[in-house]
Amino acid sequence: MRSGPEIANTTSVLDRITELFAHALNVDVPSAETDLFDTGVLDSLAFVELLLHLEREFGIKIAVDDLEVDNFRSLRQIAAFVTERTAARPPARSARLVAIAGRRMDDC
């Protein structure tokens, strides 16, 4: 079961994805649970466009191995997928600090 902050983060991501569908893809989805494939909201071209927008909006990379249809069947499932991906990647700032610290250690 998801904890408070994780639920809040998923809701925030869901809001952003809903906006992405409305403004970038020009599609109004009736609910977060609507099956995007069965209703014809996502076809193959729209799906590729969605992947591009998700990568740009959330700074994630979606590998071919991640392309399981169930991860993208509804807005809520997309939000969960994106939340999982963004939580799994190390923060950019931390990686940069490690690199800087490593260079300083080399100078010693």
Rounded to an integer, what distance in angstroms lies between the CA atom of residue 60 and that of residue 82? 8
Q: Each residue of 30-66: pLDDT tens digit?
A: 999 999 999 999 999 999 999 999 999 999 999 998 8
Residues near 11 by Cβ (< 8 Å), separated by ≥ 6?
79
pTM for this one?
Answer: 0.73
Q: What is the pLDDT of residue 1?
A: 38
> Mean of the pLDDT values across residues 74-90?
88
Query: Is pLDDT of 76 > 50?
Result: yes
From CA 95, how far away is CA 27, in angstroms rounded?
37
pLDDT of residue 85 exceeding 80: yes
Burial 20-44 (b: 16+ CB within 10 A, else e): bbeeeeeeebeebeeebeeeebbee
Query: How high is the pLDDT of residue 107?
Result: 52
Domains in the chain, ordered, with CATH?
Answer: 4-107 (1.10.1200.10)
